[in-house]
Structure 1
Amino acid sequence: MCSPFLFTVISLLLSTPFSSSTLLRITKGSSLSVEKPSNVLISANRIFSSGFYPVGNNAYCFAIWYYQSLNDGSYTMIWMANRDRPVNGKRSKLSLLKTGNIILTDADFLVVWATETTWASSVQLELCDTGNLVLHTLAGKILWQSFDSPTDTLLPQQLLTKKTILVSSRSRSNYSSGSYKLYFDDDNVLRLLFDGLETSSVYWPDPWLIPWEAGRSTYNNSRTAILDSSGHFKSSDDLKFSAADLGIGPKRRLTVDVDGNFRLYSLNEKLRAWVVSWQAKDNPCTIHGICGPNSLCTYHPKGGRRCNCIQGYKMKNHKDWSYGCESDFALSCNNDEAAFIKHPHVEFYGYDIEYFPNQTLEGCEEKCLKHCNCKGFQFKYDTINGYSLCYPKALLLNGYRSLEFKDPIYIKLPKSNLSSYDKPHQEFRLDCLHQVTALLDRAYKKQQENGTVKFMLWFACGCGGVEIIGFLFVLLYVLYRNRQGSRATEKGYLQVATGFRKFTYAELKKATCNFSIEIGRGGSGVVYKGILSDNKVAAIKRLTEANQGEEEFLAEVSTIGRLNHMNLTETWGYCVEGKHRLLVYEYMEQGSLAENITSNTLDLKKRFEIALGTAKGLAYLHEECLEWVLHCDVKPQNILLDSNYQPKVADFGLSKLFNRGGIGNSSFSRMRGTRGYMAPEWVFNLPITSKVDVYSYGVVMLEMITGRSPTGAVHTKDDNGGMEHRRLVTWVREKMRETTTGNGSWIEEIIDTAMDGEYDKNKMELLVRVALQCAEEDKDARPTMSKVVEMLLGHENDGF
């Protein structure tokens, strides 16, 4: 028996998170109904609850969870009877039959789960203080207990045996069985296994170690493990560990988490949050299958784990990162059509086609080319034997990038478009961005009814309902029109015509996983990556100036929603709730120009296209849209690049909007922009016009050409051998003037070294001269952005 019989009256007065009424125990002939939230069992110590728990849309599981919620309002699940077969929210029941069997039935009376127990005399189902749900006789004989069939969690005093396995959940919101398992292997060693859809592999203890090297023993046959109340864990294979907060008192649990790690948690009662007090794997990238196939895992203690698709591959399922990446190409068996891209400091563990010692790089390439199913090869240097080893790979799984790996891997790709695979594809992180909820679609069994009578009844009700609904609709529509007026009509038209919509703060918080994936930061706010409900990847900007009035903000975003140009980032919507002000943009795969300036991915053609496209976008803002829009913060971080490296100007519209007739009233309450890119007008308090954006554009173009940042000084030697400091614009002008004094090519001296000499000097000189003209101190000497477009278009297709 789990508890004294005298606590019956007290238990009936206790409450659960779902209702003010609870049950102490279930006896023969009684049941718990999914339609009665009050039908919840609770332990005498008020630590555990048991009943029907919602796991999706009209989907419920019979479960055990911690009675009190955490600080975020969620509950900690520790056991489920039917985790892979949820039941309907109507007419489903857990019943203790008179035969002594417990059955869980769905709405169609189908038995989903059962204990398969029999007992002639009285029995009862009771939730113990330990969290164990027990079916026992009045004499205390245990017929069935939840401790014998755990899901993903082990509680103190719960025995893990050779017959029990802990299986992770699919995700944080999908409690169905996942891909990670803790179990006793046939050699009596406790192991963690990745059991994917197509492959499986052990990853703890480290698979390259024999048991005794990992501190384990195979000389036992009991196969048992247990966590005691003070935080000590002991296994029959000699595995031992202790909680960091060792001692009696804290609530604890051992869980195989959705990320495949096996962790010991202790509950911080004050914060109402679980704290990790021990874990099996300190580096999550060493967990097999963590990022799925054809991807690379990287880990930083502060930034956490991140996953990237390797070159030539794209994310397979945006709802579930464990599916990894799939190829973006078709590769034939013709050796002449394939080539390799080198990934330094990368290792893909396992799935070798063969092993070849003492190989050259060329020899290893040839061996991979001979195999149609070879996806690439690991090339390692054996320091002991003094030669290289070749491992052709049939699958690219368990990819891990770390500076600890001295050797590279070579990925096989089509030779025809090898240059396009210049850096990893999409990055994906965080479990909560890929939640999958269990959906239920079950038919009810219904008694036969008189079809004619039923039809007439429904027909009559339907006609009456249509009339009532029609009347109410007309009434509500008239009231709504009177209240909202023409402004509401205009907003509704804008949403339908352009797709520009209002988001709730809760939607965006969920999409960004509580604003946890930061991809950019500026003076006006922080940008986060998110996945919207329609699976679109978005960039969500959280504005820091929350003191702006709602009417003013709505007026500005209404204008932004109408702006439409191929070189402006598309704005999908906004959020305004209380002090929260957010904008939702399209996500750009290649990141910002700032991230790409110093890379070798930007050749002259791409840089020219970026210069031209950026100019077109700014010209549209200045001269073509309905309102006069100043950007006021043109910089590389606000020029984003799509998958084809086409530029799109971002972060526009909220700095300043004017009617076309109000250009002369260009007053700002404070300076705007970023140091190094700001026009002199800001410093000398001169009238602000569109020429401030022209100046910033010129500086950005010089930075893109030279690879040097304008926020720092350029260091040069003076005539006496000392160091002088020059602003970027000044330095370029001086190098340009040196041409007239016969000091050689100034272009070669200022050009970004990442271009490696591969450029057309005439094209580069044109870009520099246009940029310098835009960066003139006198605003009247600067061209308009439309004039810049005209100058660049005259040479767009020459010489590339």
Structure 2
Amino acid sequence: MLNHPYFIMHFPFNIFLLPLLTFSYSLHAATLSSSQSVLAQGSSLLVEKKDHLVSPNRLFTAGFHQIGQNAYCFAIWFTQPMADGKVTLVWMANRDEPVNGKQSKFSLWKSGNLVLRDADRRVWTSNTKSNEPMQLKLLDSGNLVLTPINSKSYIWQSFSSPTDTILPNQPFTKDTTLTSSRSLTNFSSGFYSLYFDNDNVIKLLYNSDEVTSVYWPSPWLVSWAAGRRTYNNSRFAMLDSKGHFASTDDLIFDTSDYGKTLPRRLTLDVDGNIRIYTLNKRWWSVSWQALSTTCAIHGICGPNSLCTYSPVSGRTCACMHGYKAKNHSDSSSGCEPTFNFTKPPENYDFIKLPFVEFYGFDSGYSAKSTFNECRKTCLDDSNCKAFQFNFNEGSGSFACYVKTLLYNGFYKGTPFNTYLKLPKTNVLSYNENVANQSKLECSTSVIELKRPYEKNSANGTLKFMLWFSIILGSIEVVCFLFFYFITKAPSSTTTQAYLAIATGFKRFAYDEIVKASRKFSEEIGRGGGGIVYKGKLPDNRVVAIKVLHDAMQGEAEFLAEMSTIGRINHMNLIETYGYCAEGKHRILVYEYMENGSLANSLSSANKLGWQKRFEIAIGMAKGLSYLHEECLEWVLHCDVKPHNILLDVDYNPKVADFGLSKLFHQDVREDSAFSRIRGTRGYMAPEWVFNLPITSKVDVYSYGMVVLEMITGRSPSCDQGIDYDETMEQKRLVDWVRVKVHEARGNLAETQIMEILDPMMKEETEISQMKNLLRVALQCVEEDKDARPTMSEVVKILLHSDKDY
């Protein structure tokens, strides 16, 4: 009110008119078109009449809000417009499916159900039902609640299903997620999400059709190093009215203006950053934000682009040399190459991008490499787009990272240097002193609905003729289709346009699978999930073809799961080339691994030395860490064992069959516990047996069992008949190893090491590595899941720890 133009221009005089102006504003708010505070049962809010609900304190309004041309959402917003005349939305019921500006209505049915109808269909519903008299109320907190009359209990509330904003004292729990808007002018769901993951930590996730990655807290840090705590199960956070935020994962802070009770909001903005805003004199000021380096937000400029930041001009997205913008009006679309990568290696060269890093998507990594070796690796790989060559102070050597996708590019500073792969003609035309002019702008798209409306005053004769024509035309179409299908030979493949997957896999017809596998003639493995055959694709790629036993899953459901797996990309996870979902057949096509499974190698004499086993343990941990902490939260393996760890020609490990427990079975309860036991005897965590909630820690336990098997050479799937004490009964592998460690009082001597170690490795073992790996394995197989480390912590320990027992 203090920003009223008249008040500002005549302040000395208007001090006496303040009560009158306040009364005038309240009167205006109270007389908004068809506004009210409660929606009674059997009543509706109509879009044409601009019906509204207003909170008793007049701070919030709920109703139809225009978000585009003839496009409306049922929303909640701050009643007072900002200085630019716009209102601030805090919740939307139908952000991804706007309704028309005519004949749309929001109703409280007599059954107790809230229903939002478009001009011609139902768009949104609360799915509630009650025999008691109900009412819909907008509270002073901004919470829209459905409650029985004369009762304080809620059967539905908007606070339980936020969009991109939470308000003071609104709980943020394991069941709620914030999703950013697509752009400043397009309020549909965007690419960024804020959520509690399975390790009880609040995280920010970038999720596009092509890639998925966590970027806050920093994914290369373990939880404790990022100031977070995983040892909690409640998963609860809240911002209070004074500006204090507290979460059960130890994310605790105060806003810069903490202490005063002011209108505030925590919003996941379109750029993927979380900010807390405080309302002051019709302006929103930022009082806290999660990331100060906006270019560190994943996907902010789309693929094949570079992000730069200046305090003056802010964030800028630009295409690299040799690339052009996909969509000049939308920076999130990124850039695309002006060439292709199909030419022979000798046609390409590199340009240096000093201080530039592209985080993630390393198809290859070498801890010790020369520049020429790294350069040649990228040239020989047709999928390589660039390579990163950095000096690692910890190891005192140069590391090589081969990049197959160029995401998250920005100027990070020393020691990062990226070498961009381009045709030699593009390299010759590159001038590093000339800035790339192919700039990308934020999206300015506006939603527009174009639908005809039925005219209620139409002439009766015209209606009759219209319906007669429709019925006659329908009969003709049915006859034509009947004749067409009875005369047409049946197709050998199902329709592929029915449910597209933006993953880059190929969808194979069953006939193609039969041909590639030579009628399933060469079996190379089998398990509980299915039988694996060797095959060869028309482009001469050798593949592994897995025919799944469980063929009862619906096609749409199977394709939806494949869409998620298709966005997973890591050097220690098996690559999926394609799939078949035709009739009752559910088949996966994987890359072929020359050295088979870890189980086969462990059972073969002198095949795996100590160093290879240690590197396999690190690679397994990296793959599982990626699944647990950089993908969608449901990706748990649930069956980690040597048979599901495959080895390539250089014995690099790749985790296989990840996600198949979810693919096969959809009976997951709300408490994160599965309804039946998964996994293989000997590798299963105690949670399965005692029906405890299933988290990523079940994979950690199984990983520990696999590592113990690699160290000892003994399988945990059966009791070990080891005569370590005549008076003791036979014990399992874990108990036996713990006894040996206990006998040594935590300080393993060479005698105990030789007793534990696989006899095939006793002469070549690195003692300090063995002790560290054994320590990690025993931590992973703790009975209490909270005592086990996360997989990212395991990776850090194995890569950087030099402590012994």
Range of TM-score over shorter length: 0.5 to 0.7
Listed as ranges, the matches of 1:656-671 within 5 Å are: none
What is the DSSP-based 3-state SS (H/G/I as helix, E as strand, rest coil) of the residue aligned with 2:425? coil
The answer to whether 1:35 aligns with 2:60 is no
Verify the 8 A CA contact 1:60 1:89 in the aligned structure 2: yes
The answer to whether 1:214 aligns with 2:226 is yes
Verify the 8 A CA contact 1:291 1:324 in the aligned structure 2: yes
Aligned-pair CA distance for 1:446: 6.8
Listed as ranges, the matches of 1:391-790 within 5 Å are: 391-402=401-412, 404-422=413-431, 423=434, 425-428=436-439, 431=442, 434-442=443-451, 444=453, 453=462
What is the DSSP-based 3-state SS (H/G/I as helix, E as strand, rest coil) of the residue aligned with 1:368? helix
**Separation in structure 1 between the aligned mates of residue 203 and residue 228 of structure 2, nearest angstrom:** 10
Residue 161 to residue 189, structure 1, CA distance change in 2 (3 Å):
same
Q: Alignment partner for residue 170 of structure 2, among 150, 155, 158?
A: 158
Whichever residue aligns with residue 46 of structure 2, its letter is S
The answer to whether 1:26 aligns with 2:47 is no
Q: Which residue of 2 aligns with 1:81?
A: 93
Residue 452 to residue 28, structure 1, CA distance change in 2 (3 Å):
closer
Q: Alignment partner for residue 256 of structure 2, among 244, 256, 275?
A: 244
Q: Which residue of 2 aligns with 1:286?
A: 296
Q: Deviations over 1:559-608 (max 9, x none)?
A: xxxxxxxxxxxxxxxxxxxxxxxxxxxxxxxxxxxxxxxxxxxxxxxxxx
**Separation in structure 2 between the aligned mates of residue 14 and residue 170 of structure 1, nearest angstrom:** 37
Verify the 8 A CA contact 1:14 1:20 in the aligned structure 2: no
What is the DSSP-based 3-state SS (H/G/I as helix, E as strand, rest coil) of the residue aligned with 2:365? coil
Q: Which residue of 2 aligns with 1:336?
A: 346
TM-score (norm 1): 0.53
What is the DSSP-based 3-state SS (H/G/I as helix, E as strand, rest coil) of the residue aligned with 1:188? coil
Verify the 8 A CA contact 1:368 1:392 in the aligned structure 2: yes
Runs (4 or more) in structure 1 with deviation over 2 Å come to 10-21, 300-303, 404-407, 420-431, 441-457
Residue 31 to residue 130, structure 1, CA distance change in 2 (3 Å):
same
The answer to whether 1:349 aligns with 2:354 is no
What is the DSSP-based 3-state SS (H/G/I as helix, E as strand, rest coil) of the residue aligned with 2:61? strand
Verify the 8 A CA contact 1:170 1:179 in the aligned structure 2: yes
The answer to whether 1:326 aligns with 2:336 is yes
Aligned-pair CA distance for 1:444: 4.5
Residue 350 to residue 293, structure 1, CA distance change in 2 (3 Å):
same
Whichever residue aligns with residue 136 of structure 2, its letter is L
**Separation in structure 1 between the aligned mates of residue 237 and residue 451 of structure 2, nearest angstrom:** 40
Verify the 8 A CA contact 1:254 1:265 in the aligned structure 2: yes
Q: Which residue of 2 aligns with 1:473?
A: none
Q: Deviations over 1:165-203 (max 9, x none)?
A: 000011111111010110000110000111112101111
Q: Which residue of 2 aligns with 1:94?
A: 106
Stretches of structure 1 lacking an aligned partner (at least 5 in a row): 1-9, 458-800
**Separation in structure 2 between the aligned mates of residue 408 and residue 18 of structure 1, nearest angstrom:** 63
Residue 356 to residue 329, structure 1, CA distance change in 2 (3 Å):
same
Q: Which residue of 2 aligns with 1:358?
A: 368
Verify the 8 A CA contact 1:12 1:24 in the aligned structure 2: no
Aligned-pair CA distance for 1:332: 1.7
Aligned-pair CA distance for 1:28: 0.9
Whichever residue aligns with residue 437 of structure 2, its letter is Q
Aligned-pair CA distance for 1:161: 0.5
State, as a whole percentage, how many aligned pairs show the same letter: 53
What is the DSSP-based 3-state SS (H/G/I as helix, E as strand, rest coil) of the residue aligned with 1:142? coil
Q: Aligned residues, how many?
A: 441
Q: Which residue of 2 aligns with 1:594?
A: none
**Separation in structure 1 between the aligned mates of residue 267 and residue 355 of structure 2, nearest angstrom:** 32
**Separation in structure 2 between the aligned mates of residue 106 and residue 15 of structure 1, nearest angstrom:** 30
Whichever residue aligns with residue 322 of structure 1, its letter is S
**Separation in structure 2 between the aligned mates of residue 101 and residue 14 of structure 1, nearest angstrom:** 32
Verify the 8 A CA contact 2:134 2:148 in the aligned structure 1: yes
Aligned-pair CA distance for 1:441: 3.4
**Separation in structure 1 between the aligned mates of residue 124 and residue 36 of structure 2, nearest angstrom:** 21
What is the DSSP-based 3-state SS (H/G/I as helix, E as strand, rest coil) of the residue aligned with 1:55? strand
Listed as ranges, the matches of 1:6-17 within 5 Å are: 14-16=27-29
**Separation in structure 2 between the aligned mates of residue 166 and residue 80 of structure 1, nearest angstrom:** 12
Verify the 8 A CA contact 1:29 1:97 in the aligned structure 2: yes
Q: Deviations over 1:493-545 (max 9, x none)?
A: xxxxxxxxxxxxxxxxxxxxxxxxxxxxxxxxxxxxxxxxxxxxxxxxxxxxx
Q: Which residue of 2 aligns with 1:467?
A: none
Aligned-pair CA distance for 1:351: 0.3
Residue 250 to residue 430, structure 1, CA distance change in 2 (3 Å):
farther
What is the DSSP-based 3-state SS (H/G/I as helix, E as strand, rest coil) of the residue aligned with 2:374? helix
Q: Which residue of 1 aligns with 2:314?
A: 304
Whichever residue aligns with residue 420 of structure 1, its letter is S
Aligned-pair CA distance for 1:16: 4.4
**Separation in structure 1 between the aligned mates of residue 352 and residue 43 of structure 2, nearest angstrom:** 66
Whichever residue aligns with residue 403 of structure 2, its letter is K
Q: Which residue of 1 aligns with 2:181?
A: 169
Q: Alignment partner for residue 136 of structure 1, among 119, 137, 147?
A: 147
Aligned-pair CA distance for 1:292: 0.8
Mean alpha-carbon deviation: is it higher for 90-99 or for 293-302?
Answer: 293-302
Whichever residue aligns with residue 93 of structure 1, its letter is K
Residue 17 to residue 268, structure 1, CA distance change in 2 (3 Å):
farther
Higher relative contact order (CA 8 A, sep 6+): 2
Verify the 8 A CA contact 1:311 1:424 in the aligned structure 2: no
Q: Which residue of 1 aligns with 2:70?
A: 58
Whichever residue aligns with residue 113 of structure 1, its letter is W
Whichever residue aligns with residue 74 of structure 1, its letter is K
**Separation in structure 2 between the aligned mates of residue 80 and residue 283 of structure 1, nearest angstrom:** 29
Residue 18 to residue 312, structure 1, CA distance change in 2 (3 Å):
farther
**Separation in structure 1 between the aligned mates of residue 460 and residue 357 of structure 2, nearest angstrom:** 67
Verify the 8 A CA contact 1:12 1:23 in the aligned structure 2: no
Stretches of structure 2 lacking an aligned partner (at least 5 in a row): 1-22, 467-805
What is the DSSP-based 3-state SS (H/G/I as helix, E as strand, rest coil) of the residue aligned with 1:266? strand
The answer to whether 1:267 aligns with 2:276 is no
**Separation in structure 2 between the aligned mates of residue 363 and residue 351 of structure 1, nearest angstrom:** 19
**Separation in structure 2 between the aligned mates of residue 410 and residue 276 of structure 1, nearest angstrom:** 38
Verify the 8 A CA contact 1:11 1:23 in the aligned structure 2: no
Mean alpha-carbon deviation: is it higher for 16-25 or for 91-100?
Answer: 16-25
Verify the 8 A CA contact 1:156 1:252 in the aligned structure 2: yes
Q: Which residue of 1 aligns with 2:196?
A: 184
Whichever residue aligns with residue 209 of structure 1, its letter is L
